[in-house]
Amino acid sequence: MTEYIAPETQAIPPQTIVVKVGTSSLTNPATGNLALSTIATLVEVLSDLRRSGHRVVLVSSGAIGVGCARLGMTERPKTIATKQAVAAVGQGRLMRVYDDLFTEMKQPIAQVLLTRGDLIERNRYVNVYRTFDELLNLNVIPIVNENDTVAVDELKFGDNDTLSALVASLVDADWLFLMTDVDRLYTANPRTNPEAKPIDVVRNLDELNVDTATGGTQWGTGGMETKITAARIAMGAGVRTVIMKSDTPGNILKILAGESIGTRFEPQENPITARQRWIAHGMVPAGQLYLDDGAVDAVKNRGRSLLAAGLIGLDGEFQREDTVRLCNIHGQEIARGLVNYTHTELQKIRGRRSDKISQILGYDGDETVVHRDNLVLVRKGLRGI
C-alpha cells in the first residue's frame, strides 16, 4: 500500500459522505487479523475530510471476522447463536482499534449499532435520523455496524452494503463510497475472466449487463451483487455512489475533486422523499396485493390511490399500516405502500366498490386500500427493493 499524503481539500464544497468498508478490506484474508495499516490510512482520510468541513459517516464491517481471529476460529461461524457471540467479542476489539487511531487524529467518534427494526417503526426511524444529525452537527464521525449480537434473520439487513445505502439515504448523503478489494465494477469477475471489461459510469441500472455470480470472501457476506443492490437504493435517494478499491482510501479525496476513479453510479433525477424512502427501504413487506390492469394504470400512470375495486388477490398475513407490495396480474411489483386493512378484511372487500365496504365489514373503513401519500412507485433505481 502506498503512503498516504493528505491533499488540499479546502476547495471541495462541504458535503455529507458515507464510506462503507468491508471485512475483506479490514482484515487479512488468510488469518482474519485486522489490517492495521489500511485502517490507519482510512482513519487519516476520514479525519481530513471532517476537518475540511464534510459530514462523514463510516459503515464498518469486521466484528465477526475480528471475533473469529480473537477466538482462534479458522472459518466464519454458521449458526446464529455462534455468530452473535463472536460478533460480541469482535465488536469491542474493532471499536478499540478505531478509537485509538481516531484519537491520534483528535477526531471524536461514536458507535452506532442498528438492526432493521430500528428503521421499521416510524418513531424509531425518526429517532435514528435525529441521532445521526446531532452527531454530525457535533463534528463526530459515527461508526455504524449492524447489531449482529442481537439481530435475528427477519430483522437483519443481510449485508453492510445494504446498510450503508440505507444510512446514506437516511442522512441525505451526497456520496456513498463502497470500498472493496477490486478497483471498480467489471462486466465479469476480472480474476477469473480475462474478457472482463471495466465500467466507469452507470446511469441506468436496468441497462447494466454484468456477471455478479461471485460472492464475498470466507470472512465477509457481501459480493458485487450486494453492491449493485446498494447502488440502486442510493441512486433512488439521490446519492451518488462509487465502487472503489479499499487499499487506496486517499482516492476518495481525488474523486470528490473530480477525478474518474472506480465506478460511479449517478443519482436518479427527482429522488424520492424521506417518507417514501422509509416506506421503500425501511419497512419489510408483509404481503403482496395483486391489481387488475385498470388499478395498475391508476396507481402507476395517474398517481391515484389503490381502491378495493381494483384488487383481485393477495398473499401474506398483514395488519393495518404494514407495508405490502403492489403487483400486476403477472406478479411484477409496481409499487410499495402502507395498507389500510388487514389481510382478513381485504379478502372480504377485494373487487368491491368503496361505498359497499362498511356494509360488508359491518363498520366504517377507509375509502382507499393504499393511499397515494403512503405509496412509492417502483421505478428505475428502485427496482429490486
CATH number of 285-377: 2.30.130.10
Higher per-residue confidence, 1 vs 359: 359
Class of domain 16-276: alpha beta
Q: Does residue 228 contact residue 169 with C-beta atoms inside 8 Å? A: no
Cell of 278: 422509509
Question: 85-107, pLDDT tens digit by residue?
Answer: 888 888 888 999 999 999 999 99
E strand or H helix that includes residue 220 = none
Q: Where in the chain is the domain with CATH 3.40.1160.10?
A: 16-276
Task: Enter the pTM of the model.
Answer: 0.80
pLDDT confidence tier of residue 221, bands split at 50, 70 and 90? very low
Q: Does residue 81 contact residue 63 with C-beta atoms inside 8 Å? A: no
The pLDDT of residue 35: 83
The pLDDT of residue 5: 55
The pLDDT of residue 31: 66
Cell of 1: 500500500
Question: 33-58, pLDDT tens digit by residue?
Answer: 788 888 999 999 999 999 999 999 99
Cell of 33: 487479523
Quick check: 233 pLDDT over 50? yes
Among residues 65, 70, 45, 66, the alpha carbon closest in space to that of 56 is found at 45
Q: Where in the chain is the domain with CATH 2.30.130.10?
A: 285-377
CA geometry: angle 331, 334, 336, nearest 5 deg? 105
Quick check: 219 pLDDT over 60? no
pLDDT confidence tier of residue 11, bands split at 50, 70 and 90? low
Quick check: 19 pLDDT over 90? yes
Q: How far apart are the first and last CA of the chain?
A: 36
Alpha helices per DSSP H over the chain: 23-26, 36-51, 63-71, 80-104, 117-120, 122-137, 160-170, 224-236, 251-256, 274-277, 293-301, 343-349, 357-361
97/212 Cα distance (integer angstroms): 33
pLDDT confidence tier of residue 155, bands split at 50, 70 and 90? very low
Mean pLDDT lowest for which of 69-73, 118-122, 351-355, 367-371? 118-122
The pLDDT of residue 299: 94
Cell of 267: 443519482
Beta-carbon contacts of 18 under 8 Å, excluding residues fewer than 6 positions away, are 56, 57, 58, 59, 164, 167, 168, 171, 173, 175, 176, 177, 239
Quick check: 188 pLDDT over 60? yes
| Average pLDDT over every residue of 347-352 | 95
The pLDDT of residue 6: 54
DSSP state of 191: T
The pLDDT of residue 202: 92
Q: Does residue 383 contact residue 273 with C-beta atoms inside 8 Å? A: no
The pLDDT of residue 150: 61
Q: Does residue 101 contact residue 109 with C-beta atoms inside 8 Å? A: no
The pLDDT of residue 159: 76
Mean pLDDT lowest for which of 164-173, 223-232, 269-278? 269-278
Higher per-residue confidence, 189 vs 38: 38
Quick check: 288 pLDDT over 90? yes
User: Cα–Cα distances in Å, from 169 out to 87, 156, 274, 278, 376?
Assistant: 26, 17, 8, 9, 15
Higher per-residue confidence, 1 vs 105: 105
| Average pLDDT over every residue of 290-309 | 95
- Residue 178, Cβ density class (10 Å: 0-12 exposed, 13-18 middle, ≥19 buried): buried
Quick check: 295 pLDDT over 90? yes
pLDDT confidence tier of residue 327, bands split at 50, 70 and 90? very high
Mean pLDDT lowest for which of 24-28, 146-150, 262-266, 353-357? 146-150
**The pairing of beta strand 240-245 with beta strand 287-291:** unpaired
